[in-house]
Structure 1
Amino acid sequence: MGVRGLQGFVGSTCPHICTVVNLRDLAECHRSKHPGSSPTVVVDAMCCIRYWYTPESWVCGGQWREYFSALRDFVRVFTEVGIKLVFVFDGMVEQDKRDEWVKRRHKNSREISRIFHYIKSHGEQPGRHMFFIPPGLAVFTRLALKALGQEAHCSLQEADYEVASHGLQDGCLGVLGEDTDYLIYNTSPYLSIQDLCLDTLDTVMLCREKLCESLHLRVADLPLLACLLGNDIIPQGMFESFRYKCLSAYTAVKENLDKRGNVILAVADHIAKVLRLHQGEKKLEEMLPLGPNKALFYKGVTSYLLPGQKSPWFVQKSKAVITLDKQILSMSSDVSMCSDPESQQEVPMDVDPEFKLEAPLCTNPEIKQVTMSSEPEIEQQVTLCSNPEIKQEVTMVSDPEILKLADLEAASRPALLWRHFSNEGLYCAGVAKRSKSVPGMWPCLVQQLFVSKEVICLYVARAQHVQGESYLVYNIMSRGEIECSNTLEDELDQALPSQAFVYRPVRQRVYALLLGDDEDGACGLAKETKEVKEWFVYAGNPLKHPDLVRPLPMSVPGGTPSLKALWLTEELGVQARRFDVLLACFNLSSMREDVQAVEGPLRALCCLLIYLFVQVDTLCLEDLQALIAQALCLQAKSTAQLADLQLDHINPRAVQLGSLFVRGLTTLVFVNSACGFPLDMSDFMPWNVFDGKLFHQKYLQSEKGHTVEALLEENRFLLTQFHSLKSVVVKACLRENRHIGSRQYWGSHHTGWWSRQGSGSQQMSSGYGRPGRGQPWRDQGPGKSQHPQGTRRAC
């Protein structure tokens, strides 16, 4: 991540920009200068996950209790010295960085292949040099931090931009992460997570001002340098010839540096001595070989400009535009790149974070575009919709009544939502006046607001996304696109299916809930597409195109309620309706009474086990017993006991099954948030229901034929719970004509229905799981093409 080669360059050529600092001392200094102000550190959570995951075992599916304990210790140390932490997580992959995302997924796939090869060859976990993060680590890290009372956000764009923006706030001591982009952003100091000693709170601070002194540049030149060197937006080869010319003309080449280090010095020298010489006389595109990549280059430079910042390298014109097009409102500031009207292109630059808002306004096909003046004193009245029929479909709300909407009155989260939007000034209609006291923000001087059901639901999804409470819901509703990174799956042994396929029918039913017809109560900007773009990693998927996946209708007793009814009401019985929808998403409506009879904290586990064993015929009785036994035994285990567990050897199938189960837990997070949270999230957090080593131990014991009593460590109380849960799962499977057999009766040649029907990547069109389950995607397959060029077919 970040600027290619810059990290190594700093370490070898500019070590003086790295200073050891003590965060406790920085906090005390801040408090002495600013009494009453809390010192804050903004954390790029995605950069820190590897630092936080300290458990020795990682290949078995995750040591979640140990990991939660490590996070708690991390938070405690900062809390004790009075430092507030703000965590920011990646919320989506921007289209400009999709190619880079795909490259990293392919790289991860190669690493996973080496991991499984090592396990098969040695029967043990590889060393830390081959460490691969357990599945779902980012999702559950966010939820763990929230459970610990921390402020954790999910980004609406590239996470490092939002991290850097938070760094501009008063009281911020620095940005904690491991990404050289934080040297480029003009924000608070960059603090290294890799060099952080938690015991002493010492770490390394990297000073961008000292870097600029070494390169003879200004801080405002750094975004230009980053793009000319190449980053996640600008492809490495885009300026290859330009960098070679700079290096050829550079007279101060250092023999003790590698080529990359000299290239950085040469490009910086060219900016300082050549480009700056003509700055103001010539436009940047006249001095650089931009060619057809002009728009991409300017987008790359402006991506480093935080709210209120400008670049001296090109002229900027500020303009607020409201475009009522396909229910989308957007406000942006534009960059003028050249004066030629025929070749002029405009690249959106986000001067204010509020300008990123996209919200549905009305369904009137007659759409207008209104340009609003950016002058502070000018007010503009915006007309949203003139169709009287449309106006009847929306609720007209006066400003004082925003928090008293009939359906929002008793719902605390939506009430907080409206307060959140009121503070940010994010109103999509009415009379707006730019604030003099808060430059760059649209205040709450809105006299009338037309709010449709769709707007409210989308805002709820957006707020829950930003607050880190939900998973994937807003991405689906706003963009119709989701992604899932690599899972520890063996491409050479596909007797167990990829999690991408196992849980796809669940996702499809949620798509129907979120993106169905208006009469079904669905909402969202993406609802008209009727398809969701899935970027999921599985064997044989080149990731050149997303899988286009259609919603799958589901049957809810009494009919499928609207999102408005699920999310925004607290009427009597609504929680039961939410649970009904959740069961329908897993196709378990017929098992409602049996699932309800299961002890509360085990219901989520029961739903997942039933779905998993109905869906995948290669799972056997020993697998079921191991999964139930480890979940029950986990409750009595301490963190130290789990850490001390020793395994005879590592089984590659158990590794994949553990990962498959944990991906099921993330699927539960997704479904639960889409259905309005009918289940207590703590019931299916992995630190409460799964431990990788404990599961692996039970798996090996079950495979050897140990009795149930032995699996449960002779605990008679657990024996009752075990048989109760097992009987519900077995009963549900029998209803679907699925008999869970013992592996000892299969014989060595038996691999189950999954493999018999063709599990190889070339046989995906036959589908996965049990036949006759009413899932049309199986007939078309995830990897077929509509055209010879390879466009992916909808599922």
Structure 2
Amino acid sequence: MACLRHWYSCQDWVCGGQWKEYVDGLKSWVEAFTSAGIKLVFFFDGVVEEKKRQEWVKRRLRVNKDVSKLFSHIKQYGEQPGKQLFCLPSGLATFTPFALKSLGQQVFCSVREADYEISSYARQHDCMGILGQDSDFLIYDSVPYLSVAKLRINSLTTVMYDRQRLCRTIGLSVTQLPLLACLLGNDVVAEEQMWLIRDNAMVTYRKNNPAPCYGAPQGQVVLAVAQFVSSLYSRDDEDTQLVPQSLNVSAADKELLENGICSYLLPGDKGFELVSSPPSASAFEKHVHPEILKACREKHVAAEGFMVYSVVCAGVTECSNSLEDEEDTELLPQAIVYKTCRQRVYGLLLLLGQDGRTEDFPAVKEWFVFPGNPLKEPDMVHPVPVTLPCDQPSLDLLWFHGGPEVSGFRLAAFLSIFDCQEYSELCGAIEDSLLAALCLVTHIVLQVQTLSQEDVDAYLSQAVCLRLKSSQELQQIELPLLSSRAVQLGSLYVRGLGHVLGANTASGCPLPSLALMPWHCFDGRLFHSKYLLAHSGEEKTELLGNDESCLSLFHQLKEKLVETCGRKGRVLRSRPKGPHTGGIGWRDTHSDFPSSLGESWRGRGETKRAQQGGWEWRERGEERRSNYEHRDRLRSGGELGGGSQYFNSFRPNCGDGQPQGMSRPPKQFRGRSHHSRGRYRLAPRWSQPPAP
């Protein structure tokens, strides 16, 4: 996982990812090693162990602050921020294993802490080294640890951290490193929990080293704690306990330290036999056939599935940070948008073949990061039965049997998860990637009442046009400015592709997994350009690049979408997001488009910024969260029937369409990328340059 930041070197990262370019970069990276005769084996984190949940939560909340700063920058300057606010595109960890497998690489997904599995595999197979960026690889008694941050791919040179030399320098043995790591703080033992031991160690260290100490303060702490650890052991100490008896700590702290030390012990290490036995079966496993459990694990380990293993085998699932604007009250977080989809996936995995009995099924624990969610506890989400136009097939029939009839069942199960059963006739008539895109956009339209015709046009046109563009052509697209709303819509779409992948796996894979990958159906820069064009009121021919075949396919997809949504009471409306164009029920003056663009901008693009004040749940996360839950209850009461009632129920407090408390003027636009470049002419027509 530490390699992702180094692999993703594409210029654009905020719009949703330049996926074709990313895969090309991965291919070059892999070829550099294989051409030198080095075989690569990749491991990805497959689970978040409960003992590390709190550390995971702390990191996610910390990243939320950076995401908030990122959106503030976009809304103020209309451009992508610098590297100091860099965030990996949403879904990068989900889809990278599939990209590497498509390149012929060996890929594993962990069923416990990934660092442990990497270190264990490397020692078992006598690998030349572990390439990553995590100090834990120094603590495990495994093969040499090589820095990916220091890697020079052209020369294949990097820095090796020498475990033996470290031990000689700090006066410890390799077997004592796990206790040192725990006292310094790691993912199991929080840093603040052992502060008293470190403080006492520093006092003793300074007393024994009265001369001025040079070097970084952190280095002095490491030396001090290392000397303290060394003092706990005598030369003839035969204590087989993980924590020496001479370390006087409470029973609770001792147990915590033992758990931390156990996390570093590999098979064959002294004390490995003291490692706790694996956890007992979850409450979910009794509802699932053993063959399904086995298949789930195998798919998971081989990085061929998504979501199903954690749900079936542990009853928990999580999603890290997405690019979501906490001030945008118009767009729902992706966790809310795809909740009904996940519930149906859970229903397919857990309820199929159970005669619709749901009362004895425990809820799935969801740890999803979104604005307003304090992550103090998981959301408990119950599975929902999947409605199929046939007798309920069993899950093992969908997963393990063949034949045309079973193929039809699989497709029906997949489409029902997105409430798109009408699209079965399109299977085989259009490309699988377009069918997946159509299902996804339809689901978003049904769940997000503020999604407009222009937004749908942007989604569908980029999916249709992407098939004809190379990664080089996509890199040449120039954007006159960035829209914070389009950034969030791009992230929403990519997160949706993860749900499409999970639904496909749960349904027995009616569609090939590779067809669902973003490099086949999404590019952030292309989508952003289509969004700006669509909201500027351009003709559909220009939106589709003046390609008649693309235009015909676009109209076919949109007609099907509008027809399907119309049957469910969802009517798409036009809401162009120009700085002075009106929408339904409110004016766009709250969109916080940079005011310096002036009237001559003609609606080409938009940088949405929610103004301070006037919104009922802006600053307080819990208040915003309860609003999402209120929307959820409204939706469950009736499947979007009537539409307008649901839409008005969470509108900002408006009088004549103008949000209240909007006295602050929008911040000035300072973007630089406003000139027309080449064939993708999206630049605003200035009468004069904007004010600095």
- Fold similarity call, TM over 0.5: yes
Select the residue among 416, 426, 442 that pairs with 1:584: 416
Partner residue, 2:496: 664
Unaligned runs of 5+ in 2: 577-581, 591-613, 619-623, 641-645, 647-692
Rounded to whole Å, the distance in 2 between the matches of 1:257 and 1:276 is: 29
Distance 1:757 1:115, change over 3 A: closer
Rounded to whole Å, the distance in 1 between the matches of 2:330 and 2:234 is: 61
Letter in 2 for 1:293: D
The within-5 A match list for 1:202-281 is 202-250=157-205, 251-252=208-209, 255-276=213-234, 279-280=237-238
Moved more, 583-592 or 638-647: 583-592
The sequence identity of aligned pairs, in percent, is 41
Q: CA deviation at 1:295?
A: 1.5
Distance 1:761 1:116, change over 3 A: same
Letter in 2 for 1:136: G
Q: CA RMSD in A?
A: 2.8
Q: Secondary structure at the match of 1:269?
A: helix
Paired residues in the alignment total 603
Partner residue, 1:309: 269
Rounded to whole Å, the distance in 2 between the matches of 1:602 and 1:509 is: 22
Distance 1:308 1:750, change over 3 A: farther
Q: Does 1:515 align with 2:470?
A: no
Rounded to whole Å, the distance in 2 between the matches of 1:139 and 1:693 is: 20
Moved more, 559-568 or 736-745: 736-745
Q: What does the per-residue CA deviation read over 1:206-264, in whole Å, with 9 as the maximum and x for residues that have no partner? A: 11001001011111111111111111101112221111111111123652223322111
Q: What does the per-residue CA deviation read over 1:623-671, in whole Å, with 9 as the maximum and x for residues that have no partner? A: 1111111112212222122122211001000000000111111110110
Distance 1:757 1:148, change over 3 A: farther
Q: What does the per-residue CA deviation read over 1:155-214, in whole Å, with 9 as the maximum and x for residues that have no partner? A: 000000001011113341100100000000000100110111111111111110010010
Q: Does 1:764 align with 2:628?
A: yes
Moved more, 263-272 or 101-110: 263-272
Moved more, 270-279 or 288-297: 270-279
Letter in 2 for 1:289: N
Partner residue, 2:248: 289
Would you say the 8 A contact 1:135–1:662 is kept in 2? Answer: yes
Rounded to whole Å, the distance in 1 between the matches of 2:404 and 2:486 is: 44
Q: What does the per-residue CA deviation read over 1:376-418, in whole Å, with 9 as the maximum and x for residues that have no partner? A: xxxxxxxxxxxxxxxxxxxxxxxxxxxxxxxxxxxxxxxxxxx
Partner residue, 1:86: 41
Select the residue among 367, 389, 397 that pairs with 1:557: 389
Would you say the 8 A contact 2:353–2:395 is kept in 1? Answer: no
The within-5 A match list for 1:288-437 is 288-291=247-250, 292-311=252-271, 333=273, 335=274, 348=276
Rounded to whole Å, the distance in 1 between the matches of 2:228 and 2:359 is: 50
Would you say the 8 A contact 1:520–1:562 is kept in 2? Answer: no
Q: Secondary structure at the match of 2:99?
A: helix
TM-score by length of 2: 0.82
Would you say the 8 A contact 1:87–1:152 is kept in 2? Answer: yes
Rounded to whole Å, the distance in 2 between the matches of 1:757 and 1:771 is: 23
Would you say the 8 A contact 1:514–1:563 is kept in 2? Answer: yes
The within-5 A match list for 1:718-757 is 718-744=550-576, 746=583, 749=586
Would you say the 8 A contact 1:462–1:474 is kept in 2? Answer: yes
Q: CA deviation at 1:747?
A: 5.2
Partner residue, 2:690: none
Q: CA deviation at 1:279?
A: 2.8
Partner residue, 1:711: 543
TM-score by length of 1: 0.72
Distance 1:772 1:597, change over 3 A: farther
Rounded to whole Å, the distance in 1 between the matches of 2:336 and 2:393 is: 27
Letter in 2 for 1:766: H
Letter in 2 for 1:693: R
Rounded to whole Å, the distance in 2 between the matches of 1:519 and 1:224 is: 48
Distance 1:594 1:559, change over 3 A: same
Partner residue, 1:60: 15
Q: Secondary structure at the match of 1:68?
A: helix
Rounded to whole Å, the distance in 2 between the matches of 1:747 and 1:154 is: 46
Rounded to whole Å, the distance in 1 between the matches of 2:377 and 2:29 is: 40
Distance 1:771 1:271, change over 3 A: closer
Letter in 2 for 1:304: Y
Q: Secondary structure at the match of 1:113?
A: helix
Letter in 1 for 2:30: V
Rounded to whole Å, the distance in 1 between the matches of 2:584 and 2:288 is: 57
Q: CA deviation at 1:539?
A: 1.9
The structure, 1 or 2, with the larger RCO (C-alpha pairs under 8 Å, 6+ apart) is 2
Would you say the 8 A contact 1:709–1:719 is kept in 2? Answer: yes
Letter in 2 for 1:466: V
Letter in 2 for 1:296: L
Q: CA deviation at 1:285?
A: 4.8
Select the residue among 170, 195, 206 that pairs with 2:125: 170
Moved more, 182-191 or 258-267: 258-267
Partner residue, 2:295: 460
Rounded to whole Å, the distance in 1 between the matches of 2:125 and 2:82 is: 43
The within-5 A match list for 1:629-708 is 629-708=461-540
Rounded to whole Å, the distance in 1 between the matches of 2:489 and 2:531 is: 10
Letter in 2 for 1:348: S
Distance 1:97 1:127, change over 3 A: same
Would you say the 8 A contact 1:96–1:233 is kept in 2? Answer: yes
Select the residue among 78, 89, 92 that pairs with 1:123: 78
Rounded to whole Å, the distance in 1 between the matches of 2:172 and 2:203 is: 20
Q: Secondary structure at the match of 1:153?
A: strand
Would you say the 8 A contact 2:418–2:443 is kept in 1? Answer: yes
Distance 1:774 1:711, change over 3 A: closer
Select the residue among 468, 481, 496 that pairs with 2:331: 496
Would you say the 8 A contact 1:730–1:740 is kept in 2? Answer: yes
Rounded to whole Å, the distance in 2 between the matches of 1:88 and 1:600 is: 29
Would you say the 8 A contact 1:626–1:702 is kept in 2? Answer: yes
Would you say the 8 A contact 2:312–2:350 is kept in 1? Answer: yes
Q: CA deviation at 1:680?
A: 1.7
Q: Secondary structure at the match of 1:286?
A: coil
Partner residue, 1:545: 377
Distance 1:607 1:255, change over 3 A: same
Letter in 2 for 1:690: F
Q: Secondary structure at the match of 1:84?
A: coil
Q: Does 1:75 align with 2:30?
A: yes
Q: CA deviation at 1:361?
A: 13
Distance 1:598 1:504, change over 3 A: same
Q: Secondary structure at the match of 1:194?
A: coil
Distance 1:583 1:282, change over 3 A: closer
Q: What does the per-residue CA deviation read over 1:304-348, in whole Å, with 9 as the maximum and x for residues that have no partner? A: 01112114xxxx7xxxxxxxxxxxxxxxx4x3xxxxxxxxxxx60
Would you say the 8 A contact 2:282–2:314 is kept in 1? Answer: no
Rounded to whole Å, the distance in 1 between the matches of 2:502 and 2:380 is: 19
Distance 1:80 1:281, change over 3 A: closer
Rounded to whole Å, the distance in 2 between the matches of 1:588 and 1:713 is: 28
Distance 1:360 1:747, change over 3 A: closer
Q: What does the per-residue CA deviation read over 1:449-495, in whole Å, with 9 as the maximum and x for residues that have no partner? A: xxx97111100000000000001101001110010001000001120
Moved more, 270-279 or 552-561: 270-279
Q: Secondary structure at the match of 2:46?
A: coil
Partner residue, 2:2: 47
Rounded to whole Å, the distance in 2 between the matches of 1:147 and 1:517 is: 32
Would you say the 8 A contact 1:509–1:553 is kept in 2? Answer: yes
Distance 1:576 1:169, change over 3 A: same
Distance 1:734 1:663, change over 3 A: same
Distance 1:630 1:281, change over 3 A: closer
